[in-house]
Structure 1
């Protein structure tokens, strides 16, 4: 059955079209993603990159969101150091990510995860819009794995790293763990979006995390949430 094109939510309302880049070596999968993206009316440009083009393309800021296959995700470790703050939003496409990237999971840049097994127009649309809004989309099974796997490995009291967060920062971290965007955090705390952004930045800095996902993983490992 033909599904209608999804309409962008308020996150994209009135803004320029979204530019999306794909780093997906599997040609059939890349073609399928292009087809789905072409049916989203807020996507205004789709670019297919090769691994060798990654650093140069990132440097030129050619996209707003990069959808990258899980087997290419390691490349962003080098890109993150080279391009620094120029990385676009990163949506990782794949399954069994923790099993294959366990040791690097919290250090590689990412803004969300999309299950290849559950890939559809609706799931792609949902993941893109949540990433745009500053949330951290991920399949339920990955969220459960993160929670169960990391809570069962909390270091004993007094061991491991110690983080000194203010009460407000702890509240912010708990909301981050729930997948809330800066705007939603601001509403929950009764502060401005700018204030929420500053608190999120402080949490990432204190936890030594490159992104929101890594901060939540670190927090679960150390029993902060």
Structure 2
């Protein structure tokens, strides 16, 4: 594993009611150069006091999620990101998982020093790491027949937002989109935020799923997709 410079390091907060999982994660975090420091809590109730902290990334198991913890994630400061740990990706859980405004997902079955380090690095870089199984289930759901909701207002995206949405579907991170469109990362972040608001979706994952399901992005055979990072 490449050594990470101090300027790129992140602070991490993890929360889990399962003591065995919590201790295991602590041991992994101690071995990751990217992690400058970390704190751990037994559950969501204890996280209320750190909502305005300087934590860069929160690690939370999906099985611990309840309404209060989802609300906690939703009100986190803009600089904080959330990595969800998935114990399983059943069809019944897909909607629940996708509805959480998280920034990345990691299967506990693949959990190790390298996989956790990679997920933390990608989340920090603005990408959305996601297990293959979850990716396929979301894309399959996006391909299901869509029933038009006559009460839902039509989505009106600007030409630039259309460009950004198309690149989101291709799995590009904010940094990659900025490079492709010759924009600043701040501008791309603002455009992504606007797209999420217009699509009424809490995260990039659901934005991509909805845009594909409703035909908001037109793919062409001649277009070469980038490596899928969402």
TM-score normalized by the length of structure 1: 0.83
Map of 1:26 onto structure 2: 18
Which 5+ residue runs of structure 1 have no aligned equivalent? none
**Which residue of the other structure, out of 55, 71, 82, is the alignment partner of 1:78?**
71
Question: How big is the alpha-carbon RMSD for the aligned residues of Structure 1 and Structure 2?
Answer: 2.5
Map of 1:154 onto structure 2: 146
**Which residue of the other structure, out of 165, 172, 180, is the alignment partner of 1:180?**
172
Map of 2:156 onto structure 1: 164
Q: Deviations over 1:50-87 (max 9, x none)?
A: 2221222223x152111101112334322146x35467
Cα separation, partners in 2 of 1:207 and 1:152, compared to 1, 3 Å: same
Superposition pairs of residues 27-46 of structure 1, within 5 angstroms:
27-46=19-38
Cα separation, partners in 2 of 1:219 and 1:105, compared to 1, 3 Å: farther
**Which residue of the other structure, out of 68, 85, 93, is the alignment partner of 1:101?**
93
Map of 1:140 onto structure 2: 132
Map of 2:221 onto structure 1: none
Which 5+ residue runs of structure 2 have no aligned equivalent? 218-230
Task: Say whether residues 1:113 and 2:105 are aligned partners.
Answer: yes
Cα separation, partners in 2 of 1:116 and 1:222, compared to 1, 3 Å: same
Map of 2:186 onto structure 1: 194
Quick one: distance in 2 between partners of 1:117 and 1:62? 29
Cα separation, partners in 2 of 1:223 and 1:158, compared to 1, 3 Å: farther
Shift of 1:220: 3.2
What's the secondary structure of 1:15's corresponding residue? helix
Quick one: distance in 1 between partners of 2:112 and 2:124? 18
Work out whether residues 73 and 108 of structure 1, in 8 Å CA contact, stay in contact via their aligned partners in 2: no
What's the secondary structure of 1:21's corresponding residue? strand
- The runs of at least 4 consecutive aligned structure 1 residues that moved more than 6 Å come to none
Cα separation, partners in 2 of 1:64 and 1:56, compared to 1, 3 Å: same
Cα separation, partners in 2 of 1:87 and 1:107, compared to 1, 3 Å: farther
TM-score normalized by the length of structure 2: 0.81
Cα separation, partners in 2 of 1:6 and 1:36, compared to 1, 3 Å: farther
